[in-house]
Amino acid sequence: MARVRVVTDSTAHLEPEVVERLGIIVLPMRIRMGNEVIEEGPDLDKETFFRRMARSPTPPLSEPPPVGVFAKTYEELARSASHILSLHVSNKLSDACKVARQAANTLLGRCEITVVDSETISVGLGILVKAAAEAAAEGRSLEEITRIIRGMILRIYAVFFVETLDYLEREGRIRPAQALLGTMLSIKPFLTMDEGELIPMEKVRSRDRAVDKLFEFISEFSDIEQITIQQSTPHPTEETKLLLERLDIAFPDLQVPIVVYGPTLASHLGLGALGVIVFEGEEGAL
């Protein structure tokens, strides 16, 4: 009964095999597109969703699962587990952690539930969730797993450049006047994720220059355990190919997969964004 179970949300990038093998519970985020609510999950065709998103007059909004869904999930897990680690997308991007804590309070005294803000999303969250579930499978305690994950959070970095300023303006990250001027000048913001928040860091005028900035960012790391390119199309773009060519020369032993980001991240970045998520090795973090 001492087994720890791991719960996350659908913003986490996880292979289906990993989810099944490690018994990870993935709760679907909800994407509001106009009057329609779509559940984010493995059955959602991203290409179809992005085509609809491109035609939609209003941008999508991401919402966490209702508190009742969290509570029901925790109640079911509590029948076979005494501890639950609920690990979710950054609370600067979603209320998932807030809702999870509300649900956890309904089970006080029945099951120990720790809710952790990952301060990241997508591949970054997936790295943490997989590590947590593997530690649970090894019989580690909830306290041990939580300590491991909190240490790993500090080694995950994410940067993106976006094609449009509309989403940054909507979320209040830039002022309307800045968005208008930036659009007129074809400025593409370069964003970094700092303590879970997407922050405009620099501005670039072309996609080629954005690739330069991504490469410069990656080159700052002396020890990379894992790196992933994120984009909104399943096939490499010209910019992605250029970045991969430069990385192959600078880091010939580094495997760099390409992952299509999901609807929740798209609701913050828009379409056409290109980013990199780096999981720094322990030696580099010293």
Element (H, E) at 39: strand 36-39
Q: What is the DSSP letter of 29?
A: P
The residue type of 75 is E
State which of 153, 177, 193 marks the end of a domain: 153
Separation CA 15–CA 134 (nearest Å): 14
State which of 96, 129, 153 marks the end of a domain: 153
71 falls within a domain: yes
pLDDT of residue 179: 40
Separation CA 193–CA 231 (nearest Å): 16
pLDDT of residue 164: 66
pLDDT of residue 185: 39
Burial (Cβ within 10 Å: 0-12, 13-18, ≥19) of residue 188: buried
Instruction: Write the CATH number for 281.
Output: 3.30.1180.10
State which of 153, 188, 212 marks the end of a domain: 153
Number of domains in the chain: 2
Domain co-membership, 175 together with 274? yes
Which positions of the chain have pLDDT values less than 50?
Answer: 1, 173-185
Which residue segment(s) compose the domain that 215 sits in?
A: 156-285
Separation CA 151–CA 258 (nearest Å): 26
pLDDT of residue 184: 37
Q: Please check whether residue 15 is in contact with residue 129, taking contact to mean a CB–CB distance below 8 angstroms.
A: no
Spacing of C-alpha 180 from chain mean position:
28
Distances (CA, A) of 86 to 140, 186, 199: 15, 41, 26
Domain co-membership, 261 together with 132? no
44 falls within a domain: no
Separation CA 55–CA 51 (nearest Å): 7
Q: What is the DSSP letter of 182?
A: H
Instruction: Write the CATH number for 80.
Output: 3.40.50.10170
Residue pLDDT, tens place only, 81-96? 999 999 999 999 999 9
DSSP-assigned beta bridge partners for residue 192:
159, 199
